[in-house]
Amino acid sequence: MNDLALAEPGARRLFDRMRDKRILVVGDVMLDEWVWGSVSRISPEAPVPVVAVSDHSFTLGGAGNVANNLRAIGARVSFAGSVGDDAEGRRVLELLDEIDVERSAVISVGDRPTTRKTRIVAHNQQVVRADWESPAPLERKDRDRLGAFIAARAAQHDAVVLSDYAKGLFARDIVNAASGARIVAADPKPANIDLFAGVTCVAPNAAEAATASGIAIVDDASLERAGAALLERLRCRYVVVTRGERGMALFGADGERMLIPSVARTVYDVSGAGDTVIAVLTLALAADAPIGLAMQLANFAAGAVVEKLGTATASPEEILELVGADDR
């Protein structure tokens, strides 16, 4: 490919172009609940640690974390999805309001709970996680209502992100509703991957790409086969495979291939790194960055967030610091 390597001045100019782009996020929003504390003894009731709680907080998870990442780098964000008619759903709406995300296309559904994941963390290590959720598909009437919202808004945005956590939101008609946007990027779960045929870009991680393609990814040759198989199957413009500590790989419909090494200095927590990648990649494409530069910027953003605990975001300055360090 002819894309130049990303350096700090170029990254700064790209961030300037990305600022204020309008992005519509469609997906499975979650409420991440965090219980923080310390352990000094084992319970007398069972051989489990007793966590003395020191703090308790809530953050946006799932597709909500994609929206949070987009806001952190200056995009104007709208959100479409569903929450339950419950306290957790109302808290999700409050959290979207706090980061100034337009959420009039978030529908309340009375027959299912808001997805909530409670993590108990002691000494910066997760002790246990408890999930409240229903992965059952949305009822047709709710899906039709949501699809109408998406179809009315998609063309008004510079790009759409489809963030799939297999919690029942996505069906082919929801994906079709987003097709009015110039750029549609998806982060799909393997079981649903065929729903996203024809979008601009899909960005699974390596394990998801292996499952979706049926090809075990053990080296560069098998990675090439898996990426090519997904590209042919989905008929999309790009397949981007995120590979954790091994970086990222690009497969393009016009024969483009690129391998980018990881730039993370330390890996503290990979939670939500895929959300960061799809957010930054989509926003850079919306700003007309070549795919190679968009991937590189997303790679630096992922390198910044894995140095933090929990689902996190990275500011442009944090990402630019990592780009600058890599320049030297």
Residues tagged active-site: 275
Q: What does the alpha-carbon distance between residue 116 and residue 94 come to, in Å, rounded to a whole number?
A: 15
Copy the structure tokens of residue 272: 């939500």
Copy the structure tokens of residue 135: 């992965």
Rg (C-alpha) for the chain, rounded Å, is 19
3-state DSSP percent of the chain in helix, strand and coil, to 5: 40, 30, 30
Copy the structure tokens of residue 280: 């930054």
Residue 73's contacts (CB-CB under 8 Å, 6 or more residues apart) are 15, 18, 19, 279, 280, 283, 301, 314, 315, 316, 319
Return the number of other C-beta atoms located less than 10 Å from residue 152's C-beta: 13
Closest by Cα among 233, 322, 240, 223 to 285:
240
Count helices and strands (H / E) in the chain: 10, 13
